[in-house]
Structure 1
Amino acid sequence: MDIKDWIKAARQHAGWTQEKLGEAVGRTKANVGHWETGKHEPKLEQIEAIAKATGYAPPTWGGLVHSNVEPALELKKSRRVPITGSVRGGDDGYLVQDVVPDGWVEYWTGDPNAYALRIKGDSMHPRYRAGEFVVITPSIEAQPGRDVVVKLLNGKCLLKELNWIRGDEIQLRSINNGYAPMTIPKEEVECIFRVAGSVGPDSMVF
């Protein structure tokens, strides 16, 4: 039973109108009407108040349950994220890329522009291991402390941790501590894309 159907059933169980139920829980007739049509959902304390006022237990509860736990947020659904190529760390700290598309990986993201890169070699170990995939979400703003893919105007790319953005500069930290922090003028940066996470080789689909 949906919560909107339960509210109507609880009200009818008590023999009340929408106005009477609203008065009993400190809300208006319009509020109750919106609950019963599903236009709005009552808060947990309002559900408890309805159950207490009508003596009609919410579905599956088996009685009135008091809780300070908020309802869980709806999880993002997994989707196919295209693998756009492979990367490995070069001797100079920049990425060496192979841009041949190579299937998809399953990942939980709402970003329609998300893409994945296969990790080659051990230059980014232990954060990222050979054969794993990093998922990049261009539509979500990168924040300091997160790994990012940075593309420079000269065509070079980096996979680093974004340390800070200050004025007209950004600073990047090496993932494997093999290099000192790198400070780059913003004017040399084409884009900074957030790394959402990584998945193992078994996440690949064909």
Structure 2
Amino acid sequence: MLKHADIWRAIDRLAHEYGLSASGLAKKAGLDPTTFNKSKRLTREGKARWPSTESIAKILEATHSDLSEFIGYVHGEGGKGVFRNVPLIGLAQAGSNGFFDDAGYPTGGSWDEIPFPDIPDANAYALEITGASMEPVYRDGDIVLVSPQANIRRGDRVVVKTQEGEVMAKQLRRRSARRIELQSLNPEYEDRSFEMEEIIWIHRIIWASQ
């Protein structure tokens, strides 16, 4: 599971690799120079504050780096993380039969694969977003890393598959033993609510490349 400290350490490593301070990296990316300051990494209450995927995308663009390099910094010194291939499944494919077993784990092998740092969940997979229903959080072509085994809490971004074969990325608003409420990421799309028996599986999004 990705940890708060790992992401911030990766930002510091990326800055060091390009001869910059954390504030220098932020400035180079067109961000407020204080974006990555140590004081910004925790709230006043001492809770972990995560960098936005938008800010990470900007520093990768500014340094002409790619996501694989950055994730290498997350998991290993000098960007030399341990990688393995994970299934890359299109959003439309995810709604079809043959790509997941009854437990919601990828199966079959009729997909592309992409390298990704080894994570504890052997059933993790990447999902390529299509369409505009998840903007502005996820845009067409973005890739999210999904962990079927990760614990899910209210407020997490999740991928859900219904008995009707619909697959969607939403934010979990509330879940009880009988019902689940999902908040749309795009305000132009309605929120959704389902009986739990209408849901085949719900998986947590743990990373997004944007």
Q: TM-score, normalised by structure 2?
A: 0.50
Query: By how many angstroms is 1:158 displaced?
Result: 1.7
CA distance in 2 between counterparts of 1:177 and 1:81 reads: 34
Distance 2:122 2:207 in 1: 16
Deviation at 1:116, TM superposition (A): 0.3
1:131-154 superposed Cα distances (whole Å, 9 cap, x missing partner): 221111001122110111111122
Question: Structure 1 counterpart of 2:185, which letter?
Answer: I
Q: How many residues align?
A: 121
1-structure distance, mates of 2:178, 2:207: 27
Is the aligned partner of 1:148 residue 2:152?
A: no
Q: Is the 8 A contact 2:89 2:127 kept in 1?
A: yes
- Determine what percentage of the aligned residue pairs are the same residue: 29
Look up the SS of the partner of 1:103 in the other structure. Answer: strand
In the alignment, which residue of structure 2 is the partner of 1:32?
A: none
**Contact 1:161 1:174 survives alignment (8 Å):** yes
Describe how 1:24-35 pairs up with structure 2 within 5 A: none
8 Å CA contact 1:132–1:198 kept in 2: the answer is yes
Structure 1, gaps ≥5 residues long: 1-73, 89-94, 201-206
Cα distance in structure 2, aligned partners of 1:132 and 1:86: 10
Bigger share in strand: 1
1:114 aligned to which of 124, 138, 143: 124
Instruction: Measure, in 1, the Cα distance between the counterparts of 2:84 and 2:142.
Output: 16
Q: Does 1:139 align with 2:149?
A: yes
CA contact (8 A) 2:91 2:167 kept: no
Q: Which runs of 5+ in 2 are unaligned?
A: 1-73, 100-109
Aligned partner of 1:56 in structure 2 is none
Could you list the per-position Cα deviations for residues 8-67 of structure 1 after superposition, in whole angstroms to 9, with x for gaps in the alignment? xxxxxxxxxxxxxxxxxxxxxxxxxxxxxxxxxxxxxxxxxxxxxxxxxxxxxxxxxxxx
CA distance in 1, matches of 2:209, 2:117: 8
Relative to structure 1, the CA distance from residue 81 to residue 141 in structure 2 (aligned partners, 3 Å threshold; closer, same or farther) is farther
CA distance in 2, matches of 1:162, 1:81: 28
1:87 touches 1:97 (CA, 8 Å); kept in 2? Answer: no
Moved more, 159-168 or 95-104: 95-104
CA distance in 2, matches of 1:188, 1:123: 21
Contact 1:162 1:172 in 2 (8 A): yes
- 2:204 aligned partner: 194
Superposition CA RMSD, Å: 2.8
Mapped pair 1:177 → 2:187: yes
Shift of 1:124: 2.0
Aligned residue type for 2:200 = E
Following superposition of structure 1 onto structure 2, how do residues 77-88 of structure 1 map, counting pairs within 5 Å? 78-87=82-91
Cα deviation 1:113-167 (Å, max 9, x = unaligned): 1000112333322211222211110011221101111111222222111111124
For residues 196 and 81 of structure 1, the distance between their equivalents in structure 2, rounded to whole angstroms, comes to: 16
Distance 2:138 2:82 in 1: 21
